[in-house]
Structure 1
């Protein structure tokens, strides 16, 4: 069995692609919010086009493999594993290009409890290849409006990967950071870099607001996105996100390890 065939089987078996845990109801709700220009769904993107819900559904069908039928309103959503594999190839190619030129990179995640290890491995490999892994605005306060009201976080880096931590002490054994879709963390990091705390990144790698927020500001951005994250795919369609990899972004952390190996091997960054 080829590496690609093995990875395709893993994607379906682990529900990273194929039938995923993200529900059709959740995805359609995100598409409605995006069409209404709700900041919770835009996550830092300012769309140029007039994206109605039907347009978003059609785009997500092409880029992810979800049903193109707006009358399909219930059940588990679907991601075409072939689209995931093609996007992983493109993702790896962008990593390889950054490594060849020793580009400074910025990595951040709004899913630290699931995806931190994925990004840490990328950061380690890019650093070993000669890229500067940037950590601007370490410890900086970030106020984010959530469904529970305004909450104060601090921006921290774990082995070169940015995440949000609550300012309140975390309980022992708690998650390694906060789940957030906000673009504010990447804006704070990029503002700090622009103010002289370090070079500006030539590539931003992440998810949610890290990708859309950076892409909206004109930085090359690549990342992972679920079926209920339409902004990342609209950003790609409009040319502000270079690569959007469709997959379930909330499965067990261990399930992403074969993806890490595949991407690093294709980018020739395996250690």
Structure 2
């Protein structure tokens, strides 16, 4: 069992919160691109508000704890660990609610190199609680624009967690999947679930495009986001993303294990 005080110290100690690896310049660039409605930063959202760069910065200061001063343009970003803990409690609350109803869930990640283990533990705990962990569109092709141009990926599931692999990549070297911000995978998965007449998820758990894309389509969505990903926080502010946990999403995968234990314990899903 991990209590809040121990977890807070862990968050700061490994850079999940406190001073994080994300550069201030990178975050500010993302806020500027979001204000310009760049699809690379919108990652599936369709904001209804104006959301100028200063608006986004104020929101991220309120939700994450980054500096609200636009003149602060260099160094490392900061996430308030208190905000992370509060969001983890809310995240656990949504897991507990769906587990109590034994409702179907869909779990997916665009950050499999770092977060796959975190999601797998959630999938296993929810499955053990009686939730159907959905795996629609297994093997379906998804064309995603990358920095190298349009690339075909295949939707895959690892122990109940969706991710994409670049076509032809296979599983060589234990490759866990591709890093992507695209909302297309979750759209393909949800379309397939609907077309098959099978159950639709009552909760989508994920990051990047999985979180924003599902929320934009009207599904309850929860997950983590870094300081340079403003879209989920805007989605939460506009009411179409349920819970966003501010944290660094690119630290070593084992550093997320205490978060997993904390969340599952708070959700009464520990085994």
Structure 1 length as normaliser, TM-score?
0.98
Q: Which runs of 5+ in 1 are unaligned?
A: none
SS for the counterpart of 1:173 is helix
Residues 225-261 of structure 1 show CA distances to partners (whole Å, capped at 9, x for unaligned) of: 0000100000000000000000000000000000000
* Counterpart for residue 216 of structure 2: 216
* Counterpart for residue 71 of structure 1: 71
- The answer as to whether partners of 1:134 and 1:198 remain within 8 angstroms in 2 is no
* Counterpart for residue 143 of structure 2: 143
Residue-pair matches, total: 271
CA displacement at 1:5 relative to structure 2? 0.5
Distance 2:9 2:149 in 1: 42
* Counterpart for residue 100 of structure 2: 100
Report runs of 4+ in structure 1 exceeding 6 Å deviation: none
Residues 118-170 of structure 1 show CA distances to partners (whole Å, capped at 9, x for unaligned) of: 00000000000000000000000000011110000000000000000011235
* Counterpart for residue 156 of structure 2: 156
Distance 1:114 1:251 in 2: 7
* Counterpart for residue 112 of structure 2: 112
CA displacement at 1:27 relative to structure 2? 0.4
* Counterpart for residue 28 of structure 1: 28
Distance 1:6 1:40 in 2: 36
- The answer as to whether partners of 1:224 and 1:246 remain within 8 angstroms in 2 is yes
SS for the counterpart of 1:254 is helix
SS for the counterpart of 1:198 is coil
Distance 2:269 2:176 in 1: 26
Distance 1:264 1:211 in 2: 20
Distance 2:223 2:185 in 1: 16
Alignment of 1:228-247 (within 5 A): 228-247=228-247
Structure 2 length as normaliser, TM-score?
0.98
CA displacement at 1:178 relative to structure 2? 0.1
CA displacement at 1:95 relative to structure 2? 0.1
Residues 8-62 of structure 1 show CA distances to partners (whole Å, capped at 9, x for unaligned) of: 0000000000000011011011101100000000000000100000000000000
Distance 2:155 2:8 in 1: 35
Distance 1:108 1:149 in 2: 23
* Counterpart for residue 51 of structure 1: 51
SS for the counterpart of 2:164 is strand
